[in-house]
Amino acid sequence: MSTPDWFGRLAERAQAGPSELSAVLALAGSGGDLVDFSGGFPDPELFDTRLLAELAAKAIETRPEVALQYASNRGLPGLREALRADFARTQSRTPADDELIVTSGGVDAMTLISKAMLDPGDGVLVEAPSYLGAFSVFRSHEGVCVSMRNDEHGLIPASLAEAAADARARGIEPKFAYVIPDFQNPSGLLLSAERRREIVDTARAEGLLVLEDVAYRDLAFDGSTLPSIYELGPDVTVQVGTFSKTFSPGTRLGWAAGPAQVIDAMAQAKTNTDQCAGALGQCMLESLMREGHYARALPHLQRAYGTRAQALMAALDEHVGSMATWTRPAGGFFTWLDVPGVDTKLLAPVAIDAGVAFVPGAPFFADPGAHSQLRLSFSRTPTGRMGEGARRLAAAIGFQRG
């Protein structure tokens, strides 16, 4: 019995072929001698594995009826309480109980808000560049990504109203603007407090929701923070965060905080997605937060990633020099290079041959086109390998330029 051709029976959205993100995730497991600057992965060696092992075992042995059971679609009450207490650490606004949901990571949070907000053909205003995985989520819910404008300081607030008008002129109803203010993915830039305020003012004037992604907010190398967009405009903001960078991606945990009506719709959507976030991970994170370990571990992570950023900057200065320009991040996992005259999509396979991996710039833009930019992630690369990575990258650029 030969298998029928099911491809033609797939949904239209599924016939587009593999996403850029899945190629990146596939690279993660390739290993070998490759210097891998590709994925936005944390380094598990920086986690306190003995403590986490203890917390996992304790959760299972002492609270099996919770840790080994379904959780509420909004998350375990204990973790929600701990999360609300943790907001006070870096933000002046704490969500009320009905303004908070525990998600299965950041991408799940974006899935839930897409299910909650997007009718087919609705618009999402996005930075140019921005996180490619988010585009993919919005589009998989029949959303249309409409580009705002970014400059060397990050998102230009005035472009929010321009993009909204542009969308409406094209018959697209803009539902929310997706913004990553802290150590942005992919640019590494920190958006000024001034621009954050302007974004909130514009969102209020336009009746637009801001989807604020704070994935890297806790990872300023000096531990500092600026006011979040959520703090400045809790009436017009849904903040989504992930614990994949500071706790572990292995338990799929994140959160969303925002107006109760939106959070409520996200909670309903969760029952149709994966029902609830995993209770075992929720129990572990609850202990980690309640016992103070979570906040205490952050300076260690901040210093470690700061050291790696510094090492990569030095390596780029030495090997790449004037062949490219790049951002000098004060936090997070990424630097963003511009290699004038080079289409980085063509550079990528040349670089792999030379033994170095990165993500080319094009997929970080909602509009198609060739791009001379690329993203390097320094989060998983030992400082001692930065030089070799930069040297290989320079060789690939030289080869590509002929």
Q: Which parts of 72-111 interact with a second copy (CB under 8 A)?
A: 72-73, 77, 104-105, 107-108, 111
Strand order in the sheet with 325-326: 325-326, 334-338, 373-377, 359-360
Nearer to a second copy, 188 or 278 (CB): 278
Three-class secondary structure assignment of 253-316: CEEEECCHHHHHHHHHHHHCCCCCCCHHHHHHHHHHHHCCHHHHHHHHHHHHHHHHHHHHHHHH
244: contact with a second copy by CB under 8 A:
yes
CB of 298 to a second copy, least distance (A): 16
Site map (CB under 8 A) of a second copy, residues 203-232, x = contact: ----x-x-----------------------
280: contact with a second copy by CB under 8 A:
yes
Are the beta carbons of 219 and 88 closer than 8 angstroms?
A: no
Nearer to a second copy, 200 or 354 (CB): 200
Nearer to a second copy, 304 or 339 (CB): 304
Nearer to a second copy, 142 or 388 (CB): 142
What are the phi and psi torsion angles at 317 (to 5°)? -55, -45
CB of 209 to a second copy, least distance (A): 7
Q: Identify the residue among 33, 45, 151, 152 touching a second copy (CB under 8 A).
A: 45
Are the beta carbons of 125 and 208 closer than 8 angstroms?
A: yes
Site map (CB under 8 A) of a second copy, residues 141-180, x = contact: -x--------------------------------x-----
Residue appearing with tokens 């063509």? 346
192: contact with a second copy by CB under 8 A:
no
CB of 44 to a second copy, least distance (A): 4
b/e 151-174 (16+ beta carbons within 10 angstroms → b): eeebbbbebbbebbebbeeeebeb
Nearer to a second copy, 49 or 307 (CB): 49
b/e 69-92 (16+ beta carbons within 10 angstroms → b): eebbbbbbebbbbbbbebbeebbe
Q: CA-to-CA distance for 54 and 284, rounded, in angstroms?
A: 9
Segment contacting a second copy by CB under 8 A, of 71-79, 291-299, 349-357, 390-398:
71-79
